[in-house]
């Protein structure tokens, strides 16, 4: 899996963990191992501009996803997944830090960024949370991926609760 993590935010983040959880999520979703993904970490000013430009919404947000080849997980186990460019995930650590602190379980900025990375991957793969049934599916899958990755890392304690709406 070719995954680039570019931190342009000026905030120190655990780039290795973002790379690792993105790789884990893509493998779990059976995305072709030669597919490409970019994770960009930006400050609130850059995220505010992107949020306004692409969503016509004021203020910064936590995560944005920009799909390229619209890859989807294979439907059947025997199907060969297509190779391609997944797209870009843009994260904002300042928003993630606040959300993690305000979450019911309270967790670190890095834990929130890990959750948001999985959330962004799922958006790139066509998942959404506009409707209640879509939200249940996406957030259930998101929790399973984060929990699986945390278990594989030997991390204990509760997984971060979803903070994205």
Judged on CB neighbours under 10 Å (0-12, 13-18, 19+), 8 is exposed
Domain range 2-153, CATH class = alpha beta
Tens digit of each residue's pLDDT (9 = 90 or more) over 67-82: 997 778 777 666 677 7
**pTM to 2 decimal places:** 0.91
pLDDT of residue 165 exceeding 90: no
CA distances from 57 to 82, 112, 163, 165 (A): 33, 22, 18, 15
Residue ranges per domain, the chain? 2-153
SS3 of the chain: helix, strand, coil, percent, to 5: 45, 15, 40
Tens digit of each residue's pLDDT (9 = 90 or more) over 80-105: 777 889 999 999 999 999 999 998 88
């Amino acid at each position: 899996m070719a995954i680039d993590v570019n931190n342009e935010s000026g905030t120190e983040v655990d780039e290795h963990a973002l790379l690792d959880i993105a790789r884990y999520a893509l493998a779990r979703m059976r995305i072709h191992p030669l597919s490409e993904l970019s994770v960009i970490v930006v400050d609130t000013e850059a995220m505010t501009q992107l949020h306004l430009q692409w969503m016509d919404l004021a203020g910064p947000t936590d995560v944005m996803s920009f799909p390229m080849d619209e890859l989807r997980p294979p439907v059947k186990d025997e199907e060969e997944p297509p190779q391609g460019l997944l797209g870009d995930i843009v994260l904002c650590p300042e928003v993630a830090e606040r959300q993690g602190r305000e979450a019911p379980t309270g967790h670190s900025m890095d834990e929130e960024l890990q959750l948001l990375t999985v959330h962004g991957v799922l958006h790139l793969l066509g998942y959404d949370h506009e409707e209640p049934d879509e939200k249940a599916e996406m957030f259930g899958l998101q929790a399973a991926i984060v929990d699986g990755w945390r278990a594989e890392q030997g991390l204990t304690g509760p997984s971060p609760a979803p903070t994205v709406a």
